Amino acid sequence: MDRKMKSEIIELFRKYVRNELNNKEFNEVMALFKQAKYEEELAFVLDEEQEKMALTPANETEIGNNDELLAKIENTIAENFQSKPKKRTLVLFFEKYAAAVFFICTCGLGVYLHMDTPTDLISKKVEFTHDIVSGGNKAYLTLADGKRIELKNASHNLLSSQKGVEITKAGDGLLVYGPNKASQNTVTEYNTIEIPRAGHYQLQLPDGTKVWLNSATTLKFPTSFAALKERRVELNGEAYFEVAHNKEMPFRVITNNQVVEVLGTEFNLNSYTDEPEVTTTLITGKLKVSAEPGLENGAAEILKPGQQSTMMNNNIKVAEVDPEAAIAWKNGDFIFKSDDFKMAMRKISRWYDVEVVYENTMPIDIKPGGWISRANNISAVLEMMESTGKIHFKIIGRRIIVKT
């Protein structure tokens, strides 16, 4: 299943539990139940609901006294599955998510169980006059001589031929550096690519390393590594690196008093200055994270795939994480599962190029959760976050007003 289809199925299940389905969507959800192969997507939505419930001991006692209701929920949905071998799997599935299913049902969100046809959910919606579209392929390239090129409007061909290198816009959102065979110049020069808010871009460095750059990010890099002993770039913002293997020439990323060193690997690095920590998430291979030379307490850690380091005040901590959440932006998604409210709003602010204004006290106990495509207009993302029931949004121009 491709990511677009998976995202659409998850959104249908979300609308199901929120009682927001129209007749056509209701029939689609029932068809999904009958196919008996979307437990993972439904589990994701129920995980979201469990996170929002914040169960108290009193809630847990109440749930424990409703075995009959839970059995009814399980049996009713099981009737929609035609595949007999799946029955025990389904029973275990609903035992695991009993609390969330009970929550959905008792809050009037169990559409299939409580009504013959769905009705509209009476609730507040995001207020706006004009919606805000998602970001896209936007970037500016500054050459060694100071010339600045807006890549969005540049044609798909050779942009520049510098000393020893040719720079080509190979397609929408892709810039490629390759050797200039006609030049024998080995002088090292530097270029800088800048991704504005509401933008993203992909870059292929002269050694073949691929870099995906997120909104509000800059990367400074040599136009050629031929005369150098190491491949060294400087990052401010967030990027995903797929480093070309070369054991004779280490690849180093310098950012916010931190150095990441690899030989050939894939990793994500978030070094936005408005984030409290620098986070490095390893996808494949092995890498070393250390404090920049010259700083006190020269901390250093070796990461394994699936691990993430966080660096604050020159201290490095390592933990096991879900890599999918860290690289969701690269795959065209928002995954807010482990984000607090402020972090989620910073991501939204960068991608849609909006200012976030808090009308009341800043919410500190809200975990938005959720998974939604970044291709959506901002109103769809904010409506998903409003499902916590603790916040409301209003869009005025390019300002997002947050009310609690």
Band of residue 109 on the pLDDT scale cut at 50, 70, 90: very low
pLDDT exceeds 60 at position 8: yes
Q: Structural domains in the chain?
A: 3-114 (no CATH), 137-325 (2.60.120.1440), 332-403 (3.55.50.30)
Answer yes or no: are the C-beta atoms of 398 and 354 closer than 8 Å: yes
One-letter amino acid of 226: A
Q: Which of 230-234, 285-289, 369-373 has the lowest mean pLDDT?
A: 369-373
Half-sphere exposure of 313 (CA within 13 A, CB side): 0
Is pTM beyond 0.75? Reply is: no
Percent of the chain with pLDDT over 90: 48
Looking at residue 83, what is its pLDDT? 42
Band of residue 140 on the pLDDT scale cut at 50, 70, 90: very high
Strand segments, DSSP code E, in 52-181 are 127-128, 136-137, 140-142, 148-150, 158-162, 165-171, 174-179
pLDDT winner (highest mean) among 161-175, 228-242, 292-306, 327-341 = 228-242
What's the rounded Cα separation, in Å, for the pair 139 and 100?
A: 44
Looking at residue 13, what is its pLDDT? 79
Q: What angle do CA 397, 197, 193 make, to 5 degrees?
A: 155
What's the rounded Cα separation, in Å, for the pair 224 and 144?
A: 12
CA 116 from centroid of its chain's CA atoms: 37
Looking at residue 296, what is its pLDDT? 54
Answer yes or no: are the C-beta atoms of 368 and 402 closer than 8 Å: no
Q: What is the pLDDT of residues 270-321, one digit of tens each?
A: 999 999 999 999 999 999 999 876 555 567 899 999 999 999 988 899 999 9
Percent of the chain with pLDDT over 70: 74
Averaged confidence pLDDT in the chain:
80
DSSP-assigned letter for residue 249: S
Residue 390: exposed, middle, or buried by beta-carbon count in 10 A (0-12, 13-18, 19+)? middle
Instruction: Return the number of other C-beta atoms located less than 10 Å from residue 403's C-beta.
Output: 13
What's the rounded Cα separation, in Å, for the pair 21 and 7?
A: 16
What's the rounded Cα separation, in Å, for the pair 276 and 279?
A: 10
